[in-house]
């Protein structure tokens, strides 16, 4: 009985994993496949992608042509359940509502969390990204280097399936042979961006996304991932066989019923459940890690969202993987005589050094792409190609005025028409209507290319979260209050993005929509809005200035681990999800080893 309740739950587990997304899914997978008995607690409801995903639904079947609303901010068909920038009954507080100091917190309340709808972009951090302080004197070094985590990047890529290519570029690591699936064919707009950006000295290479461009190698990969563990190999081989390759249709953000992309619910949880020692309890809102007399975590307390009752479960090890801010919230709400400022917070660093990704966008219209013949450009669902950061040397020489880099995600093509097709064309048409308007929409459809910069933010003292002194959610659990501030590094970087995008659009013979923003403070998206929030329980080499060690193990409580983005000591421009999974796998291996040695 893998989905459990009060009646069917075991009395004790080896490990409790709080959260079921990228971190929780990977933690539970690794632990279960090696035989540990795991209870996973998820605050949201059970979610079954195979039967719930709107795979081919068209906008005319949805209310408001599937346009976003506060109840479904990314559109009606976005996979997110009971989530968004606001979750009903679960508020958060902000110290500032000004753009410069505002933080937005996206949450989902569903099995698999945000992995169900994410962009599937799966980039490795490079060697520089783990030692940023050594390189430029800013922020913090991680207690690990690239070589420590590289084997785990390989493993995660092999398990979940990531397409991409090895280009041998600076701080943009290659994968080991056989790890990556072939990248998809680029669109016309991708090739035009690549050709024209190259003339500006900007590299454009295949993207890396967790989408199966071909079936997984179920004959060889299981043995590579689980050497010596025949049970795990057999289960994984069977599961990999059941994941279909991409059918080049329907947006990944809806989730994937045929399991052709990565989401925790279709990749991590099925084999872990098949192994027979994973129990999952949904609608379990964890609010506290309890401390035993021996100074170890004894278990967790949660509220059953269906009955409203408080429950407590025990285990040898507790893993927090609830998302960076939610894990921080649980730690800060776990107060005791020994830890009056929150559990594992003797350093005072829990909640500190919250980071997001620097985001800035600009779009343009490209005459060369007008009136193309009919083409099916649904492709892999986005990011067939991207621009890795390319100015490491110039930056290191101090020529740019900001210390860290960004990559560029871009997209064009003849995407499925919908609620925004033909909207806002006045700048091109002079306001046509009637037959001329229809001709104009045909002409311009598919001729737009949008650019999104995704850059590194350096941790700072103004960006943190704490428990709000008064506000509680509907369960009575104290909520977070966010403080936020950018530095000149991020603002200048955002302005640099704007100039780069305009340069590329013009090099394509295109017209920039609007005016590139030269004021970085206006170019930068509010904190949290890129949904790459990490930090808050950073790992380090010194218990006085960090919350966990290199194994995601809290310095203060030896059987308490944090395996989500909270442990990031820096937030490279690379999207964090792949690194979260690699760290979680590494931490789970460590937990298994320590349990075998009876140290946990």
Partner 1 sequence: MDRRTTIKWVMAASAAWPLFKAGGARAAAASSELGYGTDPNLLKSYRPGELWPLTLTTQQQRLAGILADIIIPADKHSPSASAVGAVEFIDEWVSAPYPKHRRDRTTVLEGFAWLDAEAARRSGREFADLGASGQHAICTAICDESSAAAELRAAAHFFSVYRDLTAAAFYSTPAGRKDLNYIGNVPLARFDGPPPALLKNLGLL
Shortest CB 72 distance to partner 1, Å: 7
Shortest CB 266 distance to partner 1, Å: 16
> Site size for partner 1, by CB under 8 A?
76
CA–CA distance, 456 with 318 (Å, rounded to integer): 31
Site for partner 1 contains 184 (CB under 8 A): yes
Residues 281-310 within binding reach of partner 1 (CB under 8 A): none
Handedness of CA 9, 298, 114, 66 (dihedral sign): positive
Q: Which structure tokens are listed for 498? A: 């704007």
> Taking the CB of residue 468, how many other CB atoms lie within 10 A of it?
17
Shortest CB 413 distance to partner 1, Å: 9
Site for partner 1 contains 523 (CB under 8 A): no
Residue with smaller CB distance to partner 1, 392 or 437: 437
Residues 349-378 within binding reach of partner 1 (CB under 8 A): 368, 372-378
403: Cβ–Cβ under 8 A, 6 or more apart, which residues? 136, 138, 395, 458, 489
Site for partner 1 contains 104 (CB under 8 A): no
Site for partner 1 contains 88 (CB under 8 A): yes
Shortest CB 82 distance to partner 1, Å: 5
Q: Which structure tokens are listed for 322? A: 């609830």
Q: Site for partner 1 (CB under 8 A): which residue of 93, 169, 191, 238?
A: 191
Shortest CB 253 distance to partner 1, Å: 12
CA–CA distance, 396 with 137 (Å, rounded to integer): 11
Shortest CB 394 distance to partner 1, Å: 29
Residues 502-521 within binding reach of partner 1 (CB under 8 A): none
Site for partner 1 contains 430 (CB under 8 A): yes
H-helix segments, 103-248:
127-130, 132-136, 146-160, 188-199, 221-225, 230-241
CA–CA distance, 351 with 332 (Å, rounded to integer): 8
Residue with smaller CB distance to partner 1, 425 or 541: 425
Q: Compute CA distances 167 → 98, 122, 208, 320, 388, whole Å.
A: 42, 15, 12, 36, 11
- Looking from the CA of 244 toward its CB, the CA atoms found within 13 Å total 9
Q: Site for partner 1 (CB under 8 A): which residue of 7, 97, 294, 426?
A: 426
Residue with smaller CB distance to partner 1, 379 or 552: 379
Shortest CB 112 distance to partner 1, Å: 14
Stretch that binds partner 1, among 321-329, 347-355, 436-444, 576-584 (CB under 8 A): 436-444
Shortest CB 560 distance to partner 1, Å: 32
Residue with smaller CB distance to partner 1, 77 or 464: 77
CA–CA distance, 329 with 483 (Å, rounded to integer): 14
Handedness of CA 76, 77, 81, 85 (dihedral sign): negative
Residues 386-425 within binding reach of partner 1 (CB under 8 A): 414-424
Site for partner 1 contains 431 (CB under 8 A): yes
Shortest CB 91 distance to partner 1, Å: 14
Site for partner 1 contains 192 (CB under 8 A): yes
Binding mask 39-78 for partner 1 (x = CB under 8 A): ------x------xxx-xxxxxxxxxxxx-xxxx---xx-
Residue 176 has what DSSP assignment? P
Residue with smaller CB distance to partner 1, 81 or 547: 81
What phi and psi, each to the nearest 5 degrees, are found at residue 554? -65, 140
Site for partner 1 contains 445 (CB under 8 A): yes
Shortest CB 292 distance to partner 1, Å: 37
Assess contact for 119 and 383: CB atoms under 8 A: yes
Shortest CB 108 distance to partner 1, Å: 10
Burial of 522 (0-12, 13-18, 19+ CB in 10 A): middle
Residues 243-282 within binding reach of partner 1 (CB under 8 A): 246-250, 254
Cα 364–368–371 angle (5° rounding)? Answer: 100
The 3-class SS string of 348-404 reads CCCCCCCECCEEEEEEEECHHHCCCCCCCCCCCCCCCEEECCCCHHHHHCCCCCCCC
Q: Site for partner 1 (CB under 8 A): which residue of 198, 241, 442, 472?
A: 442
């Amino acid at each position: 009985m893998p989905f459990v309740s009060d009646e069917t739950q075991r009395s004790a587990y080896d490990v409790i994993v709080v959260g079921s997304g990228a971190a929780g899914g990977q933690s539970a997978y690794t632990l279960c496949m090696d035989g540990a008995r795991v209870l996973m607690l998820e605050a949201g409801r059970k979610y079954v992608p195979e039967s719930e995903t709107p795979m081919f639904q068209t906008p005319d079947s949805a209310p408001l042509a599937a346009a976003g609303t506060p109840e479904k901010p990314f559109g009606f068909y976005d996979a997110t359940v009971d989530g968004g920038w606001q979750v009903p009954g679960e508020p958060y507080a902000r110290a500032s509502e000004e753009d410069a100091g505002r933080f937005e917190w996206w949450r989902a309340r569903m099995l698999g969390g945000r992995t169900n709808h994410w962009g599937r972009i799966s980039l490795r951090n490079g060697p520089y990204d783990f030692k940023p302080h050594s390189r430029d004197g800013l922020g913090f070094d991680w207690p690990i280097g690239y070589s420590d985590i590289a084997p785990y990047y390989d493993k995660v890529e092999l398990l979940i399936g990531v397409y991409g290519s090895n280009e041998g570029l600076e701080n943009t690591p290659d994968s080991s042979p056989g790890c990556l699936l072939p990248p998809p064919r680029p669109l016309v707009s991708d090739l035009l961006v690549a050709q024209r950006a190259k003339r500006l000295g900007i590299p454009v290479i295949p993207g890396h996304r967790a989408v199966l461009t071909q079936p997984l190698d179920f004959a060889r990969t299981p043995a590579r991932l689980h050497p010596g563990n025949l049970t795990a190999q057999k289960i994984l081989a069977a599961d990999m066989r059941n994941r279909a390759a991409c059918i080049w249709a329907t947006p990944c953000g809806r989730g994937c019923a045929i399991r052709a992309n990565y989401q925790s619910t279709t990749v991590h949880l099925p084999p872990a459940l098949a192994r027979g020692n994973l129990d999952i309890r949904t609608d379990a809102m964890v609010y506290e890690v309890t401390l035993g007399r021996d100074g170890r975590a004894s278990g967790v307390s949660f509220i059953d969202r269906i009955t409203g009752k408080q429950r407590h479960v025990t285990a040898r090890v507790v893993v927090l993987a609830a998302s960076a801010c939610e894990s921080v919230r649980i730690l800060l709400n776990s107060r005791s005589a020994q830890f009056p400022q929150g559990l594992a917070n003797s350093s005072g660093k829990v909640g500190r050094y919250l980071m997001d990704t620097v985001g800035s966008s600009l779009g343009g219209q490209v005459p060369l792409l007008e009136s193309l013949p009919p083409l099916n450009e649904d492709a892999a669902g986005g990011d067939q190609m991207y621009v890795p950061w390319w100015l490491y040397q110039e930056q290191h020489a101090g020529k740019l005025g900001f210390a860290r880099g960004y990559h560029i995600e871009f997209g064009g093509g003849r995407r499925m028409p919908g609620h925004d097709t033909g909207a806002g064309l006045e700048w091109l048409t002079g306001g046509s209507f009637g037959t001329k308007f229809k001709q104009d929409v045909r002409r311009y459809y598919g001729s737009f290319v949008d650019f999104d910069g995704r850059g590194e933010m350096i941790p700072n003292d103004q960006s943190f979260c704490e428990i709000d002194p008064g506000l509680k959610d509907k369960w009575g659990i104290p909520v977070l209050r966010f403080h936020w501030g950018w530095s000149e590094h991020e603002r200048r970087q955002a302005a640099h993005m704007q100039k780069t995008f305009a340069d590329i659009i013009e090099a394509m013979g295109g017209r920039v929509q609007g005016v590139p923003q030269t004021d970085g403070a206006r170019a930068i998206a509010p904190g949290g809005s890129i949904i790459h929030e990490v930090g808050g329980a950073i790992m380090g080499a010194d218990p006085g200035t960090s919350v966990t060690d290199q194994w995601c193990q809290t310095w203060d409580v030896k059987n308490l681990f944090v395996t989500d983005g909270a442990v990031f000591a820096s937030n490279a421009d690379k999207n964090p999800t792949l690194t979260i999974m690699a760290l979680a796998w590494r931490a789970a291996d460590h937990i298994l080893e320590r349990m075998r040695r009876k140290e946990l």
